[in-house]
Amino acid sequence: MEIGFIGVGRMGLPMAKHLLAAGHKVIAYDARAEAVAEIVALGAESAASPAEVADRVENVVASLPTPDIVRKVATGENGVIHGKRIRRFVDLSTTGSTVAREIAAALAAKNIVQIDSPVSGGVSGAEKATLAVMVSGPQADVAVVEPALKCFGRVFYVGDAPGLAQSMKLVNNLLSAACMAMSSEALVLATKAGIDPGVAVDVINASSGRNSATLDKFPKAILPGTFDLGFATALMVKDVRLALQEAEAFGLTMDIGRAVGRVWSLTIDELGPDSDFTEVVKPLEKRAGVAVRAKGGAP
């Protein structure tokens, strides 16, 4: 299959590599020339704009950081909407359902099908091809691109309406953000009480409190003090805010969700948008005067 790939950054690059490894032809575009050069060196072809990508292939996927960038790539002046061959636009980004429906309507006017396909699993999941790939769109069109999506991980079909997969992704990421925030607070408490954080994590993971943060993020990046999982705080803050906006649109109060949002806002305010999302523990540590590190980890 010939596939256009827009956005070959930390998430997009390993996904594009998997497509090449599976024998697909990849036409790549990224705003950063060095990113395109890396995937071209592995066998992809380059394009000068999203519109050119859409001129050359029927199926275009995009992995982009923010809703505004997705809008620009999809419907902007040099967007895929102006392509001559494109029939399907597969958005791997996290935009929220409102933006997904907006883009779907604009593309439909040009007989282009929008397929929402946000992914979960982070850079590690992208590299290992173990992502959860959430998909919504017309089943016949999803079937066309499914072989490519399976190169990234396990595909979950959510439904045919635009935005359903985006809603599913926001639900997942809100839970992930909550696990990170609450686990950070709990382990700061354990450390303040005099419990070795490594022992505390082991106990939690053998007990009813275990979750994605204690099973994965704390052992890999927080206890050793590396803070290097590769997902920016700004992206997590964006996802939480999108989830809360979606909840508000449905008339839901989300009291716990708003509390989670405050923890993440504190993190971005104190550590900046480019900090690793595992650093959410640091402002809490600072206030408690402790460090949630395993023996031998960084202070």
Phi/psi of residue 150, nearest 5 degrees: -65, -15
For strands 119-120 and 131-136, give the pairing.
antiparallel
| Active-site residue identified among 17, 25, 128, 169 | 169
Q: In the CATH scheme, what is the code of domain 167-288?
A: 1.10.1040.10
Q: Where exactly are the structural domains of the chain?
A: 2-161, 167-288
Catalytic residue flag (residue 169): yes
Residues 138 and 105: beta-carbon distance below 8 Å: no
**Average pLDDT of each block of 10 consecutive residues along the chain (299 residues)?**
96 97 97 95 97 98 96 97 98 95 97 97 93 98 98 98 96 97 98 97 98 96 95 94 94 96 96 97 98 77
Please count the CA atoms within 13 angstroms of the CA of 97 that sit on its side-chain side: 25
Please count the CA atoms within 13 angstroms of the CA of 13 that sit on its side-chain side: 16
Question: Within 10 A of 195 (CB to CB), how many other CB atoms are there?
Answer: 14
Q: Identify the CA nearest to 5 among candidates 23, 21, 24, 22.
A: 24
Residue with tokens 């690793």: 276
- What pLDDT is attached to residue 297? 59
The pair of three-digit structure tokens given for residue 262, joined into one six-digit string: 């405050």
* Residue 193 neighbours by CB under 8 Å, 6+ apart: none
Same fold: 2-161 with 167-288: no
The H or E element containing residue 62 is strand 59-62
Residue with tokens 């020339």: 33
Residues 106 and 79: beta-carbon distance below 8 Å: no
- What pLDDT is attached to residue 295? 80
Q: Identify the CA nearest to 94 among candidates 234, 216, 273.
A: 234
Cα separation of 165 and 136, whole Å? 5
Fold of 2-161: Rossmann fold (3.40.50)
Cα separation of 67 and 101, whole Å? 12
Question: Within 10 A of 156 (CB to CB), how many other CB atoms are there?
Answer: 14
3-state class (DSSP) for residue 227 = coil
